[in-house]
Amino acid sequence: MIGSALCGMAQTMEQLIAFRLIQGIGAGAILPVTQTIIADMYPSEEIVFLGLAVVCVLATLLLPRSKQNAAKESA
């Protein structure tokens, strides 16, 4: 949350880039921790449904890149 607050207070583009870096590191640290907590909360039979979350995360990461590649090829 500190990274987000800093991004909101950025006054120059350089500050915004630096603060986005901080924000990204924070988000990268939080994601595995939350997944570990969720995996500990549910019995192993229900963890199968967490696979859907993994698919959603992968789609979020890969879909924008595939759209960029398609746009480059059509241009």
Residue 14 φ/ψ, nearest 5 degrees: -65, -40
| One domain, residues 36 and 5 | yes
Residue 36 is predicted with a pLDDT of: 79
| Cβ-contact 19, 6 below 8 angstroms | yes
Question: Which pTM does this prediction carry?
Answer: 0.49
pLDDT in tens, 2-23: 888 999 999 999 999 999 999 9
Residue 53 is predicted with a pLDDT of: 73
Of residues 60 and 22, more confidently modeled: 22
Residue 69 is predicted with a pLDDT of: 62
| One domain, residues 34 and 67 | no
Give the residue among 21, 3, 19 at the shortest CA–CA distance from 11: 19
Sign, CA torsion 41/45/46/52: positive
Of residues 31 and 67, more confidently modeled: 31
| One domain, residues 36 and 71 | no
Range of the domain at 52: 46-75
| One domain, residues 37 and 50 | no
